[in-house]
Amino acid sequence: MSEVLICGGAGYIGSHMAQWLAEHGHSVTVLDNLSTGHRGAIRWGDLIEADLLDPAALESAFHGRSFDAVMHFCAKSLVGESVAEPYAYYANNVTGTLNLLEAMRRHEVNKLVFSSTAAVFGNPVSDVIDEEHPKAPINPYGASKLMAERFLADAAHAYGLRSVALRYFNAAGALPEHGIGEAHACETHLIPNVLRAALGQGPSLKIFGNDYDTADGTCLRDYVHVQDLAQAHALALGFMDRHEGAHTFNLGNGQGFSVHDVIATAASVSGVAIPYEVAPRRAGDPARLVASSDKARELLGWTPRWTELAPIIESAWRWHRDQPRWSPHHIHADASIQAA
């Protein structure tokens, strides 16, 4: 079994990754600066409290330890914030990644699984997006992730780094039985905001546009359960054992669910009528964002278990329902449909 360093292991996907690896016999160490992650989510493995922007702290984290691979989830990831504060995003997501790669090279760790995003594609030119779709990010967040993917390709050629970049579409769901779920202070994702509206937390829910060319007029998005994402990352470890170079995979359910689908399913799961209001469209929101994950299925052997919307939302509902009430100052009840 492997010794794995999870950078960002106190966050949403990182904590689920730590749980999956520990359950399957791997040894886990979490590195996190706890700026957006949660100390209470670190239940599997030791914590190294450090920042990727601090090379000395990274050197200390690697010194005297032996890791077989690194999983990199550390990133600023709010699209709107990236537009307002691009320097902070390039520093954190680009410089931080470069610092990590340099530390790995110094300490001869040559396998990295990188958390990327569908935001590298920008506005889609096809209804279903595969890995060859044009990459034209429309915000600094997506651009910073695409730059990091380029680092990995260059590092494979120059230094023999083996890497897998996994481009998520919309991560969703939770593992309430393990006490972990999606807990962002500034929440921009649709499902948690719909569930908060069901719990009466925060202002009214908004749907941005109901006149798209879709069956019910609202945007379609591809939701993939966080546990299925964790499984894909674990499969990537084995893939790197067998393959040199830098590789990219899209991860999604392969199905599009509309904003109305999410609201209706959440109402059914929770037993609560969920109020919402319709607002004008937002610039840059495409009608459909759906992944083709054929490459991941074929080469990684990835088969998502959570293929229906209701179980995904039900897992998130049970987690949100049992959490302490959030402060209204930290609730942003937008029906956001950005790619995660």
Contact 251, 171 (CB under 8 A): no
Within-domain flag for 318: yes
pLDDT of residue 178: 86
**How is the beta sheet containing 220-221 ordered, strand by strand?**
128-129, 288-291, 220-221, 257-258
Asked whether the predicted pLDDT for residue 51 surpasses 90, the reply is yes
**CATH number of 122's domain:** 3.40.50.720
Asked whether the predicted pLDDT for residue 111 surpasses 90, the reply is yes
- Tell whether 206 and 85 lie within a shared domain: no
pLDDT of residue 106: 96
Within-domain flag for 340: no
Largest CA distance in the chain: 58
Amino acid sitting at position 316: A
Q: What is the rounded average pLDDT of the residues 269-296?
A: 89
Count: domains in the chain = 2
Structure tokens at 172: 């969703």
- Tell whether 140 and 215 lie within a shared domain: no
Asked whether the predicted pLDDT for residue 287 surpasses 80, the reply is yes
- Tell whether 241 and 294 lie within a shared domain: no
pLDDT of residue 330: 35
- Tell whether 152 and 15 lie within a shared domain: yes
pLDDT of residue 251: 97
The answer to whether 141 is a known catalytic residue is yes
DSSP 231-265: HHHHHHHHHHHH--SEEEEEE--S--EEHHHHHHH
Q: Helix (H) and strand (E) counts for the chain?
A: 11, 15
- Tell whether 96 and 186 lie within a shared domain: no
pLDDT of residue 66: 93
Catalytic site residue from 141, 168, 212, 223: 141
User: Each residue of 265-275: pLDDT tens digit?
Assistant: 999 999 999 98
Within-domain flag for 339: no
Asked whether the predicted pLDDT for residue 3 surpasses 80, the reply is yes
User: Each residue of 147-164: pLDDT tens digit?
Assistant: 999 999 999 999 999 999
pLDDT band at 326 (very low <50, low <70, confident <90, very high): very low
Burial bucket for residue 218 (CB in 10 Å: 0-12, 13-18, 19+): buried
pLDDT of residue 77: 81
Q: What CA–CA distance (Å, rounded) separates 3 from 71?
A: 11
Q: What CA–CA distance (Å, rounded) separates 299 from 249?
A: 9
- Which among 332, 44, 335, 1 has a CA at the least distance from the CA of 180? 44
| For helices 190-198 and 309-321, angle between their N-to-C axes, nearest 10 degrees | 60
- Tell whether 157 and 290 lie within a shared domain: no
Domain boundary among 231, 251, 271: 251
Asked whether the predicted pLDDT for residue 179 surpasses 90, the reply is no
- Tell whether 141 and 214 lie within a shared domain: no
Percent of the chain at pLDDT > 90 equals: 67
pLDDT band at 102 (very low <50, low <70, confident <90, very high): very high
Please state the three-class secondary structure of 268-304 as a single string.
HHHCCCCCEEEECCCCCCCCEEEECCHHHHHHHCCCC
Structure tokens at 232: 């894909």
Q: What is the rounded average pLDDT of the residues 308-316?
A: 94
pLDDT of residue 201: 80
A 10 A CB-CB count for 128 gives: 18
- Tell whether 142 and 11 lie within a shared domain: yes
- Tell whether 181 and 114 lie within a shared domain: no
Q: What CA–CA distance (Å, rounded) separates 144 from 243?
A: 26
| For helices 259-270 and 190-198, angle between their N-to-C axes, nearest 10 degrees | 40
User: Each residue of 241-261: pLDDT tens digit?
Assistant: 999 999 999 999 888 999 999
Domain containing 43: what range? 3-171+223-251
User: Each residue of 202-225: pLDDT tens digit?
Assistant: 667 889 899 998 999 999 999 999
pLDDT of residue 282: 76
Q: Provide the mean pLDDT of the chain.
A: 89
- Tell whether 125 and 264 lie within a shared domain: no
Residue 115's SS3 state is strand
Within-domain flag for 152: yes
What's the angle, vertex CA 233, arms to CA 227 and CA 239, rounded to 5? Answer: 140
Residue at token pair 């942003």: 332
Asked whether the predicted pLDDT for residue 30 surpasses 80, the reply is yes
Residue at token pair 């994402």: 229
Asked whether the predicted pLDDT for residue 329 surpasses 70, the reply is no
- Tell whether 59 and 97 lie within a shared domain: yes
- Tell whether 152 and 81 lie within a shared domain: yes
**CATH number of 272's domain:** 3.90.25.10
- Alpha-carbon Rg for the chain, nearest whole angstrom, is 19
